[in-house]
């Protein structure tokens, strides 16, 4: 049986990797849905869909995950939340189980026939993309302990730290940012 998980993976971190392992321990295959795949070069979504696929793939290979059991699928946001899951199903191989700890996603899935499973989150207060991006902005090297060696190598190749800082600085200097207090 296949199971699915969704995330923005901005970036793919060790918590995501542990969830992949958990899902594969409990299921034959995993579908990793890359949410908000159309979003990039923003504060919340600094990486492109292709870069996220790269991070996920290289992290899984580096962790000896059997890639014949993994599907990577880009999922574009839809402003009509009632249609969200039908759009997900249209871009994905079939699955019967959906892992999510997100209450909003759980609400959207209540009327669906899919089995909803709560993931066992690994260091959930620390292993979050927003925390990693904040540590980068603070020049705190602790972020490097939260991602795989593969992600660190990709960060160097795409100059991710500089990108995150530039996006943040550009946003702070834009007319859309909140006034400084």
pLDDT in tens, 90-131: 999 999 999 998 899 999 999 999 999 998 876 666 689 999
How, if at all, do strands 97-99 and 70-74 pair? unpaired
Q: What's the Rg (C-alpha) of the chain?
A: 17
Q: What is the dihedral of CA 93, 100, 149, 60, to 10 degrees?
A: -30
Mean pLDDT, all residues of the chain: 93
- Residue 43 has a pLDDT of 93
Q: What are the domain boundaries of the chain?
A: 1-174
- Residue 178 has a pLDDT of 60
Q: Structure pTM?
A: 0.91
Alpha-carbon gap, residue 55 to 10, rounded angstroms:
10
Burial 6-30 (b: 16+ CB within 10 A, else e): bbbbbbbbbbbbbbbebbbeebebb
Q: Is 174 exposed, middle or buried (0-12, 13-18, 19+ CB in 10 A)?
A: exposed
Mean pLDDT on 33-49: 97
Could you say which of 3.30.460.80, 3.90.280.10, 3.40.50.620, 3.10.105.10 is the CATH number of the domain covering 1-174? 3.40.50.620
Going by C-alpha positions, the residue among 11, 2, 3, 13 that lies closest to residue 121 is 13
- Residue 26 has a pLDDT of 96
Number of H helices, E strands in the chain: 7, 5
Q: How confident is the model at residue 176 (pLDDT cuts 50, 70, 90)?
A: low
Alpha-carbon gap, residue 56 to 15, rounded angstroms:
12
Whether pLDDT at 172 is above 90: no
- Residue 95 has a pLDDT of 98
Alpha-carbon gap, residue 111 to 101, rounded angstroms:
17
Going by C-alpha positions, the residue among 137, 146, 126 that lies closest to residue 166 is 137
- Residue 174 has a pLDDT of 72
Whether pLDDT at 175 is above 80: no
Q: How confident is the model at residue 28 (pLDDT cuts 50, 70, 90)?
A: very high
User: Is the CA virtual torsion 48, 52, 55, 57 positive or negative?
Assistant: negative
Alpha-carbon gap, residue 52 to 164, rounded angstroms:
15
């Amino acid at each position: 049986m296949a199971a699915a998980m969704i995330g923005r993976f901005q970036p793919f971190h060790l918590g995501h990797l542990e969830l992949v392992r958990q899902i594969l321990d409990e299921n034959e295959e995993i579908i990793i849905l890359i949410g908000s795949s159309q979003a990039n070069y923003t504060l919340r979504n600094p990486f492109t869909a292709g870069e996220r696929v790269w991070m996920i793939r290289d992290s899984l290979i580096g962790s000896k995950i059997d890639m014949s059991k993994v599907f990577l699928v880009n999922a574009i946001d839809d402003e009509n939340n009632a249609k969200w899951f039908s759009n997900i199903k249209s871009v994905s191989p079939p699955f019967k189980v959906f892992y999510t700890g997100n209450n909003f996603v759980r609400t959207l899935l209540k009327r669906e026939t899919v089995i909803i499973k709560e993931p066992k989150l690994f260091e959930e207060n620390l292993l979050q993309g927003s925390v990693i991006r904040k540590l980068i902005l603070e020049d705190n090297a602790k972020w490097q302990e939260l991602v795989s060696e593969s992600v660190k190598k990709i960060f160097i190749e795409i100059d991710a730290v500089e990108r995150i800082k530039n996006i943040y600085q550009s946003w702070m200097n834009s007319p859309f940012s909140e006034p400084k207090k």
